[in-house]
A and B are shown apart, each in its own frame.
Chain A
Amino acid sequence: MQRDTGAGDRTPGTPSPTHGGRLRHRKRSNEVPSDVNTTNGANLLLNDQNKYKSMLVRTYSSLWMMAGVVFLIYMGHLYIWAMVVVVQIFMAKELFNLLRKANEDRQLPGFRMLNWHFFFTAMLFTYGRFLSHQLVNTVTSDKLLYKLVSRLIKYQMFICYFLYIAGFVWFIITLKKKAYKYQFSQYAWTHMILLMVFAQSSFTVANIFDGIFWFLLPASLIAINDVAAYFFGFFFGKTPLIKLSPKKTWEGFIGASVTTLFSAFVLANFMGHFQWLTCPRKDLSTGWLHCDPGPMFTPESYDLPGWMPQWFPWREIAVMPVQWHALALGLFASIIAPFGGFFASGFKRAFKFKDFGDSIPGHGGFTDRMDCQMVMAVFAYIYYQSFVMVQDLSVETILEQILRNLTFEEQHELYEQLGKLLVRAN
């Protein structure tokens, strides 16, 4: 599929629908002529009818995607989770198909099913781990269902392991003499895909249930970074950034970084005002959410330093602590996340593909859209777990957990073990 054997997607003359609009921080003109030609490239862009058409296609599908995402956010956590699952399935399907050789596959019936078996096992494992609390809290209504679900969660690791072993044994039993190498490569490829797809999506889902804010902000920052990089590159782009993506420029990169940092700061404040976005979801319900925003989203007032000019209207600003964290997210989004895109480019070049798939008109496949998002989602989760959540885990919250969740015997046991630990420390 779409083997890229020509330099077609790199010159402005070929408005391939899949790359035409991916105009982040790219130089529009050819690389060979001098940089002075940048404006000429823009002229070429304006003049080419095909480019207009492809831009239209891309804009149309972008609008639909944005509208869909906004709608799902309005609907709530459960629906966002469903969206993530759907995106996962599409990505996995694209990637499974990518390095499949149709002629070899004909001799191996049922091999594709093996991929989906591992996919299902991975899904059971990751969502079982990350959403076990939510699941338990949802089924507390029915006693029988509660027992069933708690059992499943208790033995979840074992169940998933056995499913994996079943797949492993099935793989070995279906090894065919002439196709060993192909089958082993596919097996390794399946593991890599599932690792990539599930790590990032499970972290995304974990973030969602901690508060849509922690999913929406990183995703928006990536989008803003891309758009800003395109515009800065379009107007100021001159120095190429990396050999891997010749259309990216340093001007675009730096301009986008500054913009992303600034908008991270502002956007965090804006999003922090909505309880729908900031409250964590403890179960799988879909109703409205009310909660105490917590110290992270409570604005603190800072007096502006004396050196500010007189005409500046505001004497003090209200900054939520989360805005400082958002700066870190913005820094990562602008500097490290683009490497996800470089990785995908390099991968496509290595294996001579043009796109990962063709699900989205004008954009290519799901994986093309998600490459930077994946890197960002993992970072957002790890950052949240390391720096944001721990601040909420004060002595009070842990004490409350102890008193609420443990039986008396368990509390005493905890007390004893803690005592031993502290005595040794002294």
Chain B
Amino acid sequence: QPGLSRIAGSPSSPSFPKHAARSLYRIPFHTRRPSRRRGYGGAAACSPSPALRPREFNFGVPVMQRDTSSSDASASHAGRVRRRRHATEATTDGNRANGQPLLVNDQNKYKSMLIRTYSTVWMIGGFAFIVYMGHLYIWAMVVVIQIYMARELFNLLRKSSEEKQLPGFRLLNWHFFFTAMLYTYGRFLSRQLVNTVTSDHLLYKVVSGLIKYQMFICYFLYIAGFVWFILTLKKKAYKYQFKQYAWTHMILLTVFAQSAFTVANIFEGIFWFLLPASLIVINDIFAYLFGFFLGRTPLIKLSPKKTWEGFIGASVTTIISAFLLANVMGRSQWLTCPRKDLSTGWLYCDPGPMFKSEHYSLEEWVPHWFPWKELAIMPVQWQALALGLFASIIAPFGGFFASGFKRAFKIKDFGDSIPGHGGITDRMDCQMVMAVFAYIYHQSFIAPQNFSVEIILDQIIRNLAYEEQKYLYERLGEIFHERQLTQS
């Protein structure tokens, strides 16, 4: 089996030139790194696809990138060299230096690195631009990424031979996708939506009505899909259809849970989206660098190229940079202010106690020559330490999961949307795990703790008509007035 013979000049693949075998070894499909962009940064360590010369699992679809030759591998994989050992595992560790000249010598690798760098730069540039544009555009970017991811994943385990007998089956997938989108964004952005349409009275009524019955509408759309699925069950294809149905649910669950939480985070303040994403990117890059220079002990059988040195070095770096980055990002109001509606203008707000620097005196701790006598630390920096810890220790498991998955189903990449990187899911695997954690952490420890007010306000918005809301407001005002009178 190819998976095990990642040894240079392995006897099982005599036709491969030695350097090609080594390059296969370095393959990882994804990644490149540094990208600030949400999806793109994660790649490196996050989806260490094994250099399994994959026999691509042919589902009847001419699968892209059948890796039967080494050049193919290098074109799409070269460069994913984070904390990887360049030498083969069979030779001793002393051989590490030998790997490098080969990299330098190979023209194909240069070319592929160039492609990857080019697309990475574009991704970073695009991402920075969108962050500048604002919350609404970031949301739009998330939706676009979702659609691409879902499309990749839907296509992944599809067998075109079976699908020919089932017209309209793909449409069912998109129906469920649309329902899931309506449901998640309806729940998470209902307040913002209501605040946006307050200009027009009629629109406000329509939108409040929709929100009030949102759960019911989504449920009925789901039931319609369910009934449609049952009505289109074809005798010979039961098993395939049920599997696709389950697969669709799993995809939608994965894709929507994390993107819904990401969007919720964005509207709480771009900081809570940008910081976790950056930490994942930083973790990847430093894991590569540490592994490159110091890597010796393999980390996990699932991703043989990862090393403990890379892992630990990256963890330390990530935690430190979390601390520093939180301070840097916390100074910008554009990043820290929550967005209450769907507008795109500039934001002003009171940053809140989380982003106010507190001064700590260092007099007794440091020697005389130390220039700074006191530190200004924002409370958010302590929280960022927790985010950094998670990003370095748990988030890579998202990458391991994706690798294991690809190995289990003998797929090389989730897709091929991004030249040099593979598909969008390849980029997003660690980011997904991080986004969910960031949301839950934020909700549990950072969000204002007055849940009761939020819950009741939510109830008021969802359940009362405009006139009723006004009436409630007036009644409350009267009660407060009476209370003041009796107290004074």
Residues of A within 8 A of B (CB): 154-155, 157-158, 161, 165, 168-169, 171-173, 175, 177, 180-181, 183-184, 188-189, 191-192, 195, 242-244, 336, 339, 342-343, 346-347, 349-351, 375, 378-379, 382-383, 385-387, 390, 393-395, 398-399, 401-403, 405-406, 410-415, 417-419, 421-422, 424-425
Interface size class of B (residues with CB under 8 A): 35 or more
Residue in A157, A351, A414 whose Cβ sees the most chain B Cβ within 10 Å: A414
- Once A414-B456, A421-B195 are accepted as A-B contacts, the answer to whether A184 and B226 lie under 8 Å apart by CB is no
Complex: chain B residue closest to A348, CB-CB:
B238
Query: How far, in whole Å, are A401 and B456 apart by their CA atoms in the complex?
Result: 8
- Bound form: Cα–Cα A414–B479 in Å: 13
Determine if A183 and B408 form an interchain contact, defined as CB atoms under 8 angstroms apart: yes
Q: How far is the CA of A128 from the CA of B401 in the complex (A)?
A: 28
Residues 230-273 of chain B: 1 if any A CB is under 8 Å from the residue's CB, otherwise 0?
11010100110110001101100100000000000000000000
Contact B215 A386 (CB under 8 A): yes
B382: interface (CB < 8 Å):
no
With A158-B441, A422-B469 in contact, is A417–B227 under 8 Å at CB? Answer: no
- Give the chain A neighbours of B301 by CB distance below 8 A: 177
Residues of B within 8 A of A157 (CB): 440, 443-444
- Whether A154 pairs with B444 at a CB distance below 8 angstroms is yes
Q: Is the CB of B444 within 8 A of A418?
A: no
B463 cross-chain contacts in A, Cβ below 8 A:
390, 393, 398
Which residues on B are within 8 Å of A, measured CB to CB?
194-195, 198-199, 201, 204, 212-213, 215-216, 219, 223, 226-227, 229-231, 233, 235, 238-239, 241-242, 246-247, 249-250, 253, 300-302, 394, 397, 400-401, 404-405, 407-409, 433, 436-437, 440-441, 443-445, 449-450, 452-453, 456-457, 459-461, 463-464, 466, 468-473, 475-477, 479-480
Beta-carbon contact of A418 and B440 below 8 Å: no
- On whether A351 and B242 interact (CB within 8 A), knowing A183-B408, A398-B459, the answer reads yes
In Å, the complex CA distance between A188 and B250 comes to: 7
Q: How far is the CA of A422 from the CA of B461 in the complex (A)?
A: 10
B397: chain A residues at CB < 8 Å are 168-169, 172
Residues of B within 8 A of A336 (CB): 223, 227
Complexed CA–CA distance, A42 and B399 (Å): 61
Asked if A422 and B408 make an inter-chain contact with CB atoms under 8 angstroms apart, the answer reads no
User: Does A184 contact B242, Cβ atoms closer than 8 Å?
Assistant: no
Contact present for B443 and A347 (CB under 8 Å)? no
Tell me, in angstroms, the Cα distance from A350 to B215 when the chains sit together: 31
Q: Which residues of B contact A242 (CB under 8 A)?
A: 231
Can you name the residue of chain B whose Cβ is closest to the Cβ of A413?
B453
- Would you call A386 and B213 a contact (CB within 8 A)? yes
A–B Cβ pairs within 8 angstroms, 21 of them: A158-B444, A175-B302, A181-B409, A188-B250, A191-B250, A342-B230, A346-B230, A346-B242, A347-B242, A350-B238, A350-B239, A387-B216, A395-B468, A399-B476, A403-B479, A406-B453, A414-B456, A414-B457, A421-B194, A421-B198, A424-B198
Q: Chain B: which residue is nearest A352 at the CB level?
A: B239
Contact A172 to B302, CB < 8 A, known contacts A406-B456, A415-B477: yes
Contact of B450 among A165, A180, A349, A413 (CB under 8 A): A413
In angstroms, Cα B212 to Cα A382, docked, is 12
Q: What residues on A are CB-neighbors of B194 within 8 Å? A: 421
Whether A390 and B436, one on each chain, are in contact in the complex, defined by CB atoms closer than 8 angstroms, is no
